[in-house]
Chains A and B, each alone.
Chain A
Amino acid sequence: MALSDPDRPHPESFLDAARAEGAGRRARGRLKIFLGASPGVGKTYAMLEEARVRQRSGIDVVAALIETHGRADTAGLLGYLEQLPRARIDYRGQTLGELDVDGLIARRPQLALIDEFAHTNVPGSRHPKRWQDVMEVLDAGIDVVTTLNIQHLESLNDAIAQITGVRVQETVPDEVLHSADQIELIDLPPEELIARLKDGKVYAAQQAGQALENFFTRGKLTALREMALRSVAGHVDADMLAYMREHAISGIWPAEERLLVCVNETGAGKALVRAGKRMAERMKIPWLAATVVTPRHEAMSPEARAGTMAALRLAETLGAEVAILRAESDVAGELLRFARERNVTRLVVGRPPPGPLLRRLPRLWREPVLDRLLNAAADIEITVLTPRAGALRRRALARRPLRPEWRAYGWACAAVAAASLAAWPAARWDAVPAGVLTVMYLSAVLVVGSRFGLGPSLAAGVLGFLTYNFLYTEPYYTFLVSGGSDIVSLSVFLLGAIFTGTLASRLKAQVEAMRASQARTETLYAFARRIASVTKADDVLWAAVAHIAKALDCHAIILTPDAAGTLQQVQGHPTIADDLDAKAEGAARWAFDKGEPAGTGTGTLPNSAWLFVPLATASHPFGVVGVRFRDPSRATDPDMRRLLLAVEDQVAVAIERNQLSDDLANARVAQESDRLRAALLNAVSHDLRTPLVSVIGATSALADGMDDLPDASRRELAQTALDEARRLDRTVQNLLDMTRLGHGALKPRRMAADLREIVGRVRADLERTLAHHTLRLVLPPDLPLLDVDPVLVGQVLANLLENAAKYAPAGTPITLEAGREGGHVRIAVSDRGPGIPEEQREAVFDLFHRAARGDSAPAGTGMGLAIVKGFVEAHGGSVAAGAGADGHGTRIVVTLPVARDAEDRP
């Protein structure tokens, strides 16, 4: 990574600064740590003293959690401060007090005192570790002062365990210590500390003696003190280095040096990582941790794989950049490629422990990874560590299921037996050369190797060798070998068997790896296909839970927030979980709020049975996926995580797509109704204004020129004004009718009514409208009475006749026919107008159909037919438009109900 301009600030320094500013010095609280070499040096006391000073300067301080350990002077100081009650957590019948994170955030002081940074919380708390609680408090924007003993620092864990002989379980990642804004070392010479201890200032008297013997020996304390001093000094140096990098001051770091810890499945990954971290710290260089996954990896025991992943996670918490590399077979090559790419100058590798004989055999012809690294990496300094991990290794081996192995060895025997069976007759036949028999046995080895892997294939090789020796070499039927050529051929056979077996087993591993990855890809494709075709968000979620549940063999649920913001289960496979406890709900909430996984296998609420992963689109989170495995260890399986993330991505994309298409549809609907509204406004204002123009024009002419106008003109003007005023009246009437229909205020006053009477009335009203057409009535004398509101039906007929008169050319007839049809009377109005195109015959009854078309057809809002439809349907009748009898013109057919007492009509 050669920079052209060495004095230019390093790009990553911008990133660091941006992160620090962005993630927010603004919002995030400041962390101060009082660091001590051992208990009893007075960290808590120092912290309380500082709190008092800050309190006096007007800062709002709360003692969120202080352990006095019964020390009187500490308790005395504490008296001056406001104390936060502890959260009570029930655990195995005991009620224990822990830091009340929510209470503290709700209280929102400027500064909170939280003792014992490395403390492990009672199971059932939100976070397993108190330092995680502190992180949350800091995130909430509250400054925190805390205390820490050096032995709790993650990277020093091994070293201190060696010094003191006590392994501390409560550790804090180095990253966290380094992220502190201020570290203050509380230093006390060992002599003074021992004196304090003897005075009973640290522990109550009876405990003190024991502690003095075990822990507080002078030598141990000195070593610890040195470590604490060095560690603080390192922190100070790091601060200075950051400053120098930011300001492009060169020096100290000659070039971008990096250290790479290579983690493998030896089970000693964690120790390797801790060692690597210490080396990097000492050299003050960034460091990385990587592992190489090969097809063989797939076939390994879950324990070994989990060990590797745990080591990588540890590396991450210790501040390393972590990478998982993939290679077909050349592990060393891949490691070196990565190392060179990242400008790594130092490699830390573990020496593989001496394994069982079978595992070591391949080294006979294949160079071990370590050797390849040493040979190929002349430019990289390689440190080989020999961790003591034998115990773990043995345990891992012992746990392997035996039955399938034994079956495989059984098949190996069977294969050799089958080969012998086939070879026996062949050997009796002189035409068959002896080499063929060897090939038969080798075939058996090949088959076993490809089916059952290396061990069984080697077993088959050895067994085949013995059988061949027994049956086909002189002296026959003994395991003795007489001739030199036989010795050679047997040796060749054995080597061949081993080689084929290895090849075949490698092949098998690769095939299995491919099969596993293909299966993963296939299920993911299947899922993608399935959700691509669904259109509703609900269906996407259902497909997602079903897929997750099947692919991961788990119980899967999806929760989304309801209107009140509470997370509710919306989907579940096989069902919705009815046993979500408070812990699971808390984890779900956390995952949703923070956008990070929570629950089992994570750092938040790990003792919940469920694992929750947030579901988020690019813009905002919309829910969480919860999974519960039958086998809890799967929660940390990287494959599972990968699949879960992939599904989550697909779901988010599908949901986003749905949202977008919904938005689009809504926008379209809104646009359409806007268009309709505009059309209506246009039509109504047109229909109201046009007659008014004529009325005002004509009457103003009359008013102004009363005396000058000839009589004929006066009459014509008056007639125009009258006609137009009547048209206006009809429009207003239509608008009123439409409004009544729209509000459902229309209640027909039904009575037995004679259609002829209604027609008569309408005809009289429309005398002027129908003046240019001939109205032909076809009303049979036995037409039954209708059960209708005569006024409304009159309006229906008037609108139909008016419509016909409007479109039919002058002089053509308009026909009104009626006839009984079961319980209805069918009334048809036909004209010889232009007709209605078939595709519009339903639409003409829609409100403002004509208006929406925006054409220049004869005046009228197009409400007439909509009113017909509304009125007819209010009577339980129907209306339809069609072509006239001979295919020309329009024929509108209305059906209306017959009155019940209609039979008695004369």
Chain B
Amino acid sequence: MSAPARILIVEDEAPIRRFLTIALGSAGHETLEADGGRKGLELAATRAPDLVILDLGLPDMDGRAVIAAIREWSRVPVLVLSVRDGEGDKIAALDAGADDYVTKPFATGELLARVRVLLRKQATSAEDAPEIAAGSLKVNLAARTVSRDGRDVKLTRKEFDVLALLARHAGRLVSHKQMLTDVWGPAHATDTHYLRIAIGHLRDKLGDDAADPRLIITEPGVGYRLQIIADRVSGAGG
């Protein structure tokens, strides 16, 4: 279980705020509640939360505007609550600076897992560990080596860069745009077929099946996510 954190919930529906408060409270977190964007921004500025859970459909402000405002002065992780079929909204939110999303309706287990990942990310990026383990997969960032179940896997440079990016954000959604910009450079931000080919090769080499993925999860039209299986089993963070 991750360290207790202060989490700001920005959501206009009171019942959703209530069960989020209960679920997060039972995981040991302190919660702050805001029923609108302005109130949320105020609390984010004055109470310094460790994480913001933000509903995109707010009555007083556009969710993206809230993210952009927060990003002006803070790197606090933002988890977006989005409705289904809102792929465009999700991408826009991610582009504005959100870190991940959960689609409504969601199970609290899923939400808590995302929260855990986002809180841990704060820690890992601070440590900047040379080796990242995700279940049976080990990625050594310094030596640029990869092994699965103890066996070394040969990767090209781009393939390694993609995997390293996913591993650094293990459990977290990485958008197409972010991966393309980081690995191939800003000029190739829309060349999704580069990414698709690299992911395909990665899956082949790591023994993962796109039709039944265990490692690299596809978020259709949005991005990829490196699955942390051990995480689920142990229920423990990094």
| Residues in A lying within 8 Å of B, measured CB to CB | 722, 725, 729, 733, 736, 749, 751-754, 756-761, 763-764, 777, 779, 785, 789-791, 794, 901, 904, 906
Q: Is B25 an interface residue (CB 8 A)?
A: no
For A751, the chain B residues whose CB sits under 8 A away are 192, 221
Choose one: B209, B212, B221; the contact of A791 (CB below 8 Å): B221
Q: A733–B220 contact, CB under 8 A?
A: no
- B212 contacts A763, C-beta separation under 8 Å: yes
B residues near A736, Cβ cutoff 8 Å: 85
Report B187-220 residues with CB < 8 Å from chain A CB: 192-193, 196-197, 200-201, 209-213, 217-220
Known: A729-B105, A763-B211. A754 touches B196 (CB 8 A): yes
Q: Which listed residue, A752, A789, A791, touches B193 by the CB 8 Å rule?
A: A752
Q: Given known contacts A722-B107, A757-B220, what 15 new A-B pairs fall within 8 Å (CB)?
A: A736-B85, A749-B87, A749-B221, A751-B192, A753-B220, A754-B210, A756-B209, A756-B211, A757-B210, A760-B209, A761-B217, A761-B218, A763-B212, A779-B211, A785-B196
Evaluate whether A758 and B221 lie within 8 angstroms (CB atoms) in the complex, with A729-B105, A752-B193 already known. Answer: no
- 21 inter-chain pairs at a CB distance below 8 angstroms, sorted by A residue, are A753-B220, A754-B196, A756-B210, A756-B211, A757-B220, A758-B220, A759-B210, A759-B211, A760-B209, A760-B211, A760-B212, A761-B218, A764-B213, A777-B211, A779-B211, A785-B196, A790-B220, A791-B85, A794-B220, A906-B197, A906-B200
Tell me the dominant secondary structure on chain A's binding face.
helix
Q: Which residue of A lies closest to B197 (CB)?
A: A906
Residue on B nearest A775 in the bound complex, by CB: B212
A-B pairs, top 3 by smallest CB distance, nearest first, are A756-B210, A790-B220, A757-B218
List of A residues within 8 angstroms of B210 by Cβ: 754, 756-757, 759-760
Whole-angstrom distance between the alpha carbons of A725 and B108 in the complex? 14
In the complex, chain B residues whose CB is within 8 Å of the CB of A729: 105
User: Which residues of chain B come closer than 8 Å to A764, judged between CB atoms?
Assistant: 213, 217
- Docked CA distance A791–B82 (Å): 15
In the assembled complex, how far is the CB of residue A621 from the closest CB belonging to chain B, in whole angstroms?
57
Q: Does B154 contact A (CB under 8 A)?
A: no
A779 vs B213: C-alpha distance when bound (angstroms): 14
Residues of A close to B87: CB separation below 8 A: 749, 791
Measured between alpha carbons, how far is A754 from B195 in the docked complex, in Å? 12
Instruction: Write out the residue numbers on chain B whose beta carbons fall within 8 Å of the beta carbon of A752.
Output: 192-193, 196
Confirm or deny: B84 has a beta carbon within 8 angstroms of a beta carbon on chain A: yes
A463 to chain B, nearest CB (A): 107
Residues on B with beta carbons closer than 8 Å to the beta carbon of A777:
211-212
Residues of A within 8 A of B219 (CB): 761
Question: Quick one: closest B residue to A759, CB to CB?
Answer: B211
* A794, closest chain B residue (CB): B220
Q: Are B84 and A760 in contact (CB under 8 A)?
A: no
List the B side residues contacting A794 at CB < 8 Å: 220
The CA of A761 and the CA of B209, in the complex, are separated in Å by: 11
Encode B125-141 as 1/0 by CB contact (under 8 A) with A. 00000000000000000
CB distance from A695 to the nearest CB of B (A): 12
Q: Are B213 and A760 in contact (CB under 8 A)?
A: yes
Contact of B218 among A760, A779, A785, A789 (CB under 8 A): A760
Query: Per-residue CB proximity of B167-203 to A under 8 Å, as 1/0?
Result: 0000000000000000000000000110011001100
Among residues of A, the one whose C-beta sits closest to the C-beta of B204 is A906
Shortest beta-carbon distance, A62 to chain B, in Å?
72
The distance from the CB of B207 to the nearest CB of chain A, in whole angstroms, is: 14
Residue of A nearest to B104 (CB): A729
A790 contact from B193, B209, B212, B221, Cβ within 8 A:
B221
Instruction: Please indicate which of the listed interface residues A722, A757, A779, A789 has the most CB atoms of chain B within 10 Å of its own CB.
Output: A757
Shortest A304–chain B CB gap in Å is: 90
Taking CB as reference atom, which chain A residue is nearest B85? A791
Q: How far is the CA of A754 from the CA of B199 in the complex (A)?
A: 11
Residues in chain A near residue B212, CB distance under 8 A: 760, 763, 777
Give CA–CA (A785, B107) in the complex, Å: 32
Among A756, A763, A777, A904, the one with the most B-chain Cβ atoms within 10 Å of its Cβ is A756
Asked if A904 contacts B193 (CB within 8 A), the reply is yes
What are the interface flags for B106-126 relative to A under an 8 Å C-beta threshold, 1 for contact and 0 otherwise?
010000000000000000000
Looking at A761, A763, A794, the one whose CB has the most chain B CB atoms below 10 A away is A761
A residues near B213, Cβ cutoff 8 Å: 757, 760, 764
B 78-107 to A, binary, CB cutoff 8 A, 1 in contact else 0: 000000110110000000000000000101
Report the bound CA distance from A752 to B201 in whole Å: 17
Residues of B within 8 A of A761 (CB): 217-220
CA distance A422 to B204 in the complex (A): 118
Q: How far is the CA of A768 from the CA of B12 in the complex (A)?
A: 31
- Given that A753-B220, A757-B220, A761-B220 are contacting pairs, would A733 and B211 also be in contact in the complex, using a CB cutoff of 8 Å? no
Q: Report the minimum CB–CB distance from B200 to chain A (whole Å).
A: 6
A789 to B209, CA, bound (A): 21
